[in-house]
Amino acid sequence: MKHEPGMSFHDAHAQCSLLGVEISEDSFMRITKFMNLLEQSTKKVNLVGPAEIQRLWTRHVLESIAFIPFLHKNTVIDVGTGAGFPGMILSLCGYDVTMIESRRKRCAFLETVARSCETSCRIWNCRVEDAGPFPEGSVFTSRAVKTPPEMVKLILPSSPEGFSLVTRISTREETCSNTIISEELPIPPLDRRGFIMQYRHPGIKNKRERKLNDQNPCCG
C-alpha cells in the first residue's frame, strides 16, 4: 500500500488492540482493499483531499475503528458517511450498517466498495432528516459532519422515540448534557487528539418537550 508502506496484519492488530478492538484478518484484508479503491477513485473523483491519502490508516480508518467499543448494538445508522468513515469501516468489521449520504458520487463509490469487498450494507442517497422513522433505541454514528447538538437536532425528527449517538469530538467542551461517555483517543496509534462521545436522547414524549428540544436539542 502506497499510503501505508509495510503495514501487515500483525501491525494492524496491535494498533487496533490499543483502541480496545480485536480486528480479524478478514476484516483487515477487506479494509486494505477499500483503501486501495479509495486511493484509485480519488484520482477521478474528489472523495478525500490529497494529503488524506497519505494518512488514511492513522487518521481515518483507526478513528473509525475506535467507534466500536462504544456501540452497544450490531445495527448502526451512519450519518454523513462521505468516503466511508466510519460507516464502511464498521461494515467491513462485521456491523450491519445503513449509510446515509446526500452526495450522489460518494454513494456511487460506497456501492462500488460494497460490491468489491462483498459486504452487506444499505446505502441511502438522502439526508437523515428525510430518512426514517427509525425505531426506539437506534444507534447512530457520525464523524466530522456537525457538532453534537446539531447532529442531535437533525436526527431527532427521524427517531423521536429515543436514540443514541456515537461521534468524534475535538474537546470535552463539545459534549452534550446527556453524554454517557467521553473518552480520549490514544496517540499513537492515531495521529491527532480527539475524543469519542456516546450520547443518549430519551425521546420526545409530548408537545412541551418538542418545544424545549427546539430551543435546546441537547436537553433530555
Q: Count Cα atoms within 13 angstroms, Cβ side, for 59.
A: 12
Please, which pLDDT band fits residue 213 given cuts at 50, 70 and 90? low
Distance CA 143, CA 203 (A): 22
Q: Which stretch of 102-111, 128-137, 155-164, 202-211 has the lowest confidence by average pLDDT?
A: 202-211
What's at 132, amino acid-wise? G
Name the 3-class secondary structure at 204. coil
Please give the angle made by the CA atoms of 159, 160 and 162, to the nearest 5 degrees. Answer: 80
Q: Looking at the domain that runs over 9-215, which CATH code has it been given? A: 3.40.50.150
Buried b (16+ CB within 10 A) or exposed e, 69-78: ebbeeeebbb
Q: What is the pLDDT of residues 65-82, one digit of tens each?
A: 999 999 999 999 999 999
- pLDDT of 132 > 60? The answer is yes
Determine how many CB atoms are found less than 10 A away from the CB of residue 193: 11
pLDDT of residue 1: 36
Q: What is the pLDDT of residues 173-184, one digit of tens each?
A: 888 778 888 899
Angle, helices 25-42/104-116, rounded to nearest 10 degrees: 140
Prediction pTM value: 0.89
Phi and psi for 130 in degrees, rounded to 5? -100, 0
